[in-house]
């Protein structure tokens, strides 16, 4: 009797597994599955189905009425050559934001729309709720809901790449709205005109602990530039955004000394690549690391002097709606100049805060950076993911702020 029961149990498990597998395959083809048959929900099969379903959900929740403002829409290029309709709303208060956080996804499911990804970013002055939705196998739309804390001005953003057939450039909001990042609680920025500096720290991706330290121990706006295809690249990008800081892709570009690429030469963009390969590799790298707001070059002393090659790379960066900062690893770089010609928000590094793994006098380099800021109004410093840099930085930054230097997010200094 016991063997019979065990046998019946195993057969039941196999049947249930087979049913679930077949149901899953049916859903992937956009067909009606068992759950949909029982509940009467028809899964969205096309982008038009998704659009209609979402409009029904937003109407039922009051989105689009006077209390919730639709900012605009555009088309964005996402991963794997996806083209997503991007729709942005501004919500009036925290209660509405929380209501959307808790209920929007459930309403979409009841209309047969799949939520492929969802994330919430809460910063001191702005909250952002993002949904990537679509049919069962494919993403078709991105929806953003922004709540600006009372008294915070709505930022003006550089325009995104738009599809001429669907764009509404006069009122479309940027895909990656610059985060209003943290300001020191101990020494607030004076805004006294002594100069503004932005800080970028390169070479993140391999070590989670050093990324956490930079995010936890620096109470000023910073940018973490993450090398792609490292063990923790994606996680550090996510951590950085959740901390209210700026994430960059630290794009590997060919140096004059090819040997400096080492065992990771395969991830570098090089001048030897033909136009199609260079464009494809750039596109793939940007698609593989969603969530960054800008790009700066990792090495690149050879490639950043090559105007035709930089035009290809920066054209793809522009299509992704990202910013670009030239790390200036060689004096003859044309990267910032090409970015300006293409209309990309851009700037160049003024001072290296350290000398990479060789260390360096961070406090002295920060003084040079502050002097540049006083002279020119602003300056950009680049350091690296090194514990010694972080330890020296904390005390030196307090001294600069006391002197009236304002530490600002990188997007504040882009032209």
The 3-class secondary structure across 100-143, one letter per residue, is HHHHHHHHHHHCCCEEEEEEEEECCCEEEEEEEEECCCCEEEEE
Kindly state the tokens that stand for 378: 């602003």
Domain extent listing, the chain: 47-148, 196-413
Question: What pLDDT, on the 0 to 100 scale, is given for residue 296?
Answer: 98
CATH architecture, range 47-148: 2-Layer Sandwich (3.30)
Q: Tell me, what's the pLDDT at 178?
A: 30
- Say what the pLDDT of residue 332 is: 93
pLDDT of residue 70: 75
Q: Residue ranges of the chain with pLDDT lower than 50? A: 39, 151-193
Cβ 269 vs Cβ 281: under 8 Å: yes
What pLDDT, on the 0 to 100 scale, is given for residue 80?
58
Q: Is 13 exposed, middle or buried (0-12, 13-18, 19+ CB in 10 A)?
A: exposed
Instruction: Note the pTM of the prediction, 2 decimals.
Output: 0.57
Residue 21 pLDDT: 64
Q: Is CATH 3.90.230.10 the right assignment for the domain spanning 196-413? A: no
At 247-259, the pLDDT tens digits run 999 999 999 988 8
How many Cβ atoms are within 10 Å of 287's Cβ, its own excluded?
A: 16
C-alpha to C-alpha distance for 223 and 370, rounded to whole angstroms:
18
Task: Give the per-residue pLDDT at 58.
Answer: 80
For 46-98, what is each residue's pLDDT tens digit?
888 888 888 888 878 777 665 677 776 777 766 556 778 888 888 888 888 88
Contacts of 141 (CB under 8 A, 6+ apart): 47, 50, 51, 54, 84, 85, 86, 87, 131, 132, 133, 134
């Amino acid at each position: 009797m016991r063997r019979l029961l065990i046998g019946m149990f195993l057969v039941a498990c196999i049947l249930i597994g087979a049913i679930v597998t077949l149901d899953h395959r049916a859903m992937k083809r956009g067909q009606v599955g068992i759950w949909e048959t029982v509940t009467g929900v028809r899964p969205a099969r096309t982008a038009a189905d998704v659009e209609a379903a979402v409009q029904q959900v937003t109407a039922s929740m009051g989105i689009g009425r006077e209390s919730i403002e639709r900012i605009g829409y555009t088309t964005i290029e996402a991963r794997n050559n996806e083209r997503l309709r991007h729709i942005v709303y501004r919500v009036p208060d925290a209660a509405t934001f929380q209501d959307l956080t808790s209920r929007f996804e459930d309403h979409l499911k009841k209309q047969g729309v799949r939520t492929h990804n969802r994330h919430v970013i809460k910063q001191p002055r702005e909250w952002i709720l993002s949904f990537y939705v679509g049919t069962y196998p494919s993403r078709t739309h991105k929806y953003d809901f922004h709540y600006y804390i009372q008294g915070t001005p709505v930022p003006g953003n550089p325009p995104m790449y738009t599809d001429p057939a669907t764009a509404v450039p006069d009122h479309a909001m940027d895909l990656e709205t610059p985060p209003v990042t943290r300001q020191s609680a101990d020494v607030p920025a004076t805004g006294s005109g002594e100069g503004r500096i932005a800080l970028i720290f390169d070479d993140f991706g391999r070590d989670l602990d050093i990324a956490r330290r930079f995010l936890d121990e620096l109470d000023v706006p910073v940018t973490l530039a993450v090398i792609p295809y490292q063990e923790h690249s994606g996680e550090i990008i996510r951590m950085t955004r959740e901390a209210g800081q700026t994430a960059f892709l630290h794009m590997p570009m060919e140096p004059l000394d090819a040997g400096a690429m080492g065992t990771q030469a395969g991830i570098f963009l090089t001048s030897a690549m033909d136009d199609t390969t260079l464009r494809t590799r750039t596109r793939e790298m940007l698609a593989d690391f969603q969530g960054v707001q800008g790009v700066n070059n990792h090495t690149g002393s050879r490639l950043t002097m090559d105007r035709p090659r930089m035009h290809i790379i920066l054209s793809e960066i522009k299509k992704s709606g990202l910013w670009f900062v030239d790390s200036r690893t060689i004096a003859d770089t044309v990267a910032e100049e090409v970015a300006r010609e293409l209309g990309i928000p851009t700037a160049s590094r003024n001072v290296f805060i350290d000398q990479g793994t060789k260390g360096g006098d961070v406090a002295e380099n920060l003084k040079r950076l502050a002097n540049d800021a006083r002279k020119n109004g602003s300056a950009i410093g680049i350091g690296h993911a090194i514990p010694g840099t972080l330890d020296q930085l904390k005390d030196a930054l307090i001294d600069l702020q006391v002197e009236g230097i304002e530490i600002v997010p990188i997007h504040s200094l882009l032209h």
